[in-house]
Chain A
């Protein structure tokens, strides 16, 4: 990101993670508001704290750990569900976790998180992801894209609501390129579409993932002995 781009933007962020060291690290990496435009307005270490802090501060983006004392990230998402659909100032969640186990990833995405990145992400990429989520787009890591492809690929039987449950050819292509490690900009160039179109495809995938009927994911998880 170039500096002239970064100075005007601003995002209020709450950090939810039970490791103080990690929160401090993220603060140091992205919380320099004058440079990155990210302002950390609150921190929480467990589910109850998180709900309290998020309700009180109403941030634009919540960086949410998947494994938390008191029920995990999914529980935070469940209890904050009304804030997510708020028309005026929606709170958006970006999962940030050390775990890349499929059930964790799929779980928080289904819970309503707008994206998922692992903790190995660089500071610049994380800042980028925060702003993308703030603007309403979804952020997919290659791994997450792989899980989603996997989840939708193994459904051979025609689902009840075909339009909703199926990924279009284009969405599949986009996901595949994400899984191969392409950035959104590179995908746009590769498929001769605009970055905005890429983002809307990704958002569509995310919506389908949240809405798609439960049974196919259950079946997928069962086949993998995840449940």
Chain B
């Protein structure tokens, strides 16, 4: 495209650059983009174009010029451009959720009919005969140009791999239309008898050009893709830098400020380590923003442990074997486990890390929480202390599970929770 700007990333101050709108457009997105740029309703802009169309076809020419020159972008009326902070796939995915294709087809057809009527009304004398071939050429060119737009959009959305045939067919149809138009002109000029020779000559010229320009074209595309990978790499690096800046440097600053408070320093460092680890090792596209409501056991156990760890400043080591979706009983088990973790962190945290182990084996889910604190005697706990009895043992029993407590004075405490998974869960 002619404009060097990259519409994908409206960086920096919100300079209102003119883009054609890919969202909710009727034809090329010119009117919509213009409306967004000028801050006017789309219908006004469209009316102006139609009015100009009546005035000797000015509107069509203007529209074509805009289509040619202005790059396709996101935004326009009704679809606010994503804020600079909202980079990445999220914003884009939201913008392209709709498919305005049918409206475009209608608009294209309407435009062709309108243009045909308009042209029919012109009385250009001898030149009149050339109008239909010219229209054919125009339609072909328009088709190919629309194709370029689509390719661009598909590039952002990274789809279209399954629908590769359709764009090809459309491109071919556009070329055929244009060729037919050109042939028509040639025929009209009365040189039909030389058609064969002309075709041969043009073919020879085309082959010659291809031979000459081919290598440099190939090199150019190679350079382009190389440049693109470089850019992607640079973006990735920038993202890493941003993350490190946002979280790690921030935490380090906090640690410097709290240097004399060892407990707080440890807490900060641990939370940061966990976050960074999750960010580095998690599968693509599962950032911390999306992990709000865990729906599997493993996620839930890790999230709970992380929360307790942050809150009480005692390291919790989590080992999970197997995984399954959470159901009602398991949610209750999670709450009991959370209570056990809090107890372990509160009373047994001096003995070192709290160990949490979860295992899914067949239909049974086993969870153990173990600390190496002083331990305690369950029978010696007064009856009015409800933590262990109600929150852990009682809750498990109410939901059809079992809880066992083992405590050796001086040897730590272990809470074992067992729960059957719901029948309907797969």
CA distance A14 to B321 in the complex (A): 33
Residues of B within 8 Å of A143, CB to CB, are 317, 319
Which range contains the number of B residues in contact with the other chain? 10 to 19
Are A146 and B319 closer than 8 Å at their CB atoms?
yes
What is the predominant secondary structure among interface residues of chain A facing chain B?
helix
Task: Answer whether A150 and B281 are a contact pair too, CB < 8 Å, given A142-B355, A179-B357, A180-B370.
Answer: no
Task: Give the distance to chain B from A59, nearest Cβ to Cβ, in Å.
Answer: 30
Are A101 and B281 closer than 8 Å at their CB atoms?
yes
Contact of A181 among B281, B317, B320, B361 (CB under 8 A): B317
Residues of A within 8 Å of B322, CB to CB, are 150, 153-154
B368 adjacent to chain A (CB < 8 Å): yes
A176 adjacent to chain B (CB < 8 Å): yes
Are B355 and A180 closer than 8 Å at their CB atoms?
yes
CA distance A226 to B321 in the complex (A): 16
Are B359 and A181 closer than 8 Å at their CB atoms?
no
A135-154 CB contact bits vs B (8 Å, 1 = yes)? 00000001101100110011
B215 adjacent to chain A (CB < 8 Å): no
CA distance A154 to B322 in the complex (A): 8
CA distance A153 to B353 in the complex (A): 26
Task: Give the distance to chain A from B414, nearest Cβ to Cβ, in Å.
Answer: 8
Residues of A within 8 Å of B281, CB to CB, are 99, 101
A154-192 interface (Cβ within 8 A of B) = 154, 176, 179-181
Are A146 and B283 closer than 8 Å at their CB atoms?
no
A214 adjacent to chain B (CB < 8 Å): no
Are B370 and A146 closer than 8 Å at their CB atoms?
no
Closest chain A residue to B277 by CB distance? Answer: A100
Task: Give the distance to chain A from B9, nearest Cβ to Cβ, in Å.
Answer: 29
Residues of B within 8 Å of A215, CB to CB, are none
CA distance A20 to B321 in the complex (A): 35
CA distance A154 to B323 in the complex (A): 11
Residues of B within 8 Å of A176, CB to CB, are 357, 359
CA distance A204 to B90 in the complex (A): 49
A residues at B contact (CB < 8 Å) = 99, 101, 120, 142-143, 145-146, 149-150, 153-154, 176, 179-181, 225
List 14 extra interface pairs beyond A146-B357, A180-B368, CB under 8 A: A99-B281, A120-B315, A142-B357, A143-B317, A146-B321, A149-B321, A150-B322, A153-B322, A153-B361, A176-B357, A179-B359, A180-B319, A180-B414, A181-B355
